[in-house]
Amino acid sequence: MKPPSKRPTTTGSGARALKTRIKKKSGLKNSSRRWLERHLNDPYVHRSKMEGYRARSAYKLIEIDDRHHILKKGQRVIDLGAAPGGWCQVAVGRVGSSDDDKRVVGIDYLEMDQLPGVTLLQMDFLDDDAPARLMEALGGSPDVVLSDMAAPTTGHRRTDHIRTMHLCEVAADFAISVLKPGGHFLAKTFQGGTENDLLDRLKKNFKSVHHVKPPASRDESVELYLLARDFKGRAAEPAEAPEDQS
Ligand SMILES: C[S@@+](CC[C@H](N)C(=O)[O-])C[C@H]1O[C@@H](n2cnc3c(N)ncnc32)[C@H](O)[C@@H]1O
């Protein structure tokens, strides 16, 4: 097995990066100044610019996949909450998707620039017809369902938490209803946030379920990923009892 990816510590030029500081008199609020300083000094941000990824989050998927090997050549992938497209870019490279044979479908309600090898749907994944539209665009069952969806932050931590967990649950239901047997589901969740009901459901449907925190996910962030591997197939879940017609 390859060693786990390490956090980059330089800009990649070999030289130690100088720390950029924003002056206190910049007119920015303290929280915005700190965010900007962290962004400007983040080695993943520098690396994503050099390597042509649209977002530093691409490295989260790269690190998870380098370690857990969920993406393979020839697979079909659905990426939920795809904007600006970092995960799609990684998936395209790893499954070998191209414009002649598109194997990656991404969905986001935000507009995204087109990406080679990807079919993009601009719509809310929570819309009733989103699952059917995704399946139609993919043209076959997915081997992997990815979800990096996060609800827009309201500033109220508990509310943000509940809304993102809801997205994770709907994504899990979708994955269970469409994945190929042997397929995998990877989704963003929060520390302490995965409800037992969801974990139980995933454990019933996948051979292994665990949480992963890639090095690219900031230590101070409560973000965590749920990785459910080897979907057992739809027969794993007992069919609902038919309604009593009498
Ligand atoms: C952290 S970003 C994803 C970054 C992406 N993985 C990348 O590497 O570029 C989360 C995305 O989820 C999207 N999102 C949140 N709720 C959504 C929903 N209900 N339907 C579609 N997209 C949603 C947001 O618009 C946002 O673009």
pLDDT of the residue at 13: 43
Bridge pairing between strands 223-231 and 206-212: antiparallel
pLDDT in tens, 173-197: 999 999 999 999 999 998 876 678 8
69-107 confidence digits (pLDDT tens): 999 999 999 999 999 999 999 999 999 999 999 999 999
Q: How far is CA 188 from the centre of its chain?
A: 6
Is the pLDDT score of 7 beyond 90? no
For residue 81, the 8-state DSSP code is S
Ligand 1 atom at minimum distance from 89 CA:
8
> What is the DSSP track for 145-181?
EEE---PPP-S-HHHHHHHHHHHHHHHHHHHHHHPPT
User: What pLDDT shows up at residue 193?
Assistant: 67
Residue 14 DSSP class: S
Q: Ligand 1 mean position to 235 CA, how many Å?
A: 31
The answer to the question of whether 35 is labelled as a binding residue is: no
pLDDT recorded at residue 17: 53
CA 127 – ligand 1 centroid, Å: 14
Q: 35 versus 47: which is more confidently predicted?
A: 47
Confidence of residue 16 (pLDDT cuts 50, 70, 90): very low
Is the Cβ–Cβ distance between 213 and 186 less than 8 Å?
Answer: no
* Known active-site residue 49: no
Pocket of ligand 1 (CB under 6 A): 54-55, 57-58, 81-87, 107-110, 124-126, 148-151, 167
Nearest CA to ligand 1 atom 8: 86
- Whether residue 117 contacts residue 89, with contact meaning beta carbons closer than 8 Å, is answered with no
What is the CATH topology of the domain spanning 54-232?
Rossmann fold (3.40.50)
| The pLDDT of residue 18 | 56
Torsion of CA 162, 164, 169, 171, to 10 degrees: 170
* Share of residues in the chain with pLDDT > 70 (%): 87
Mean predicted lDDT score pLDDT of the chain = 88
Q: Where are the domains of the chain?
A: 24-53, 54-232
100 is in an annotated binding site: no
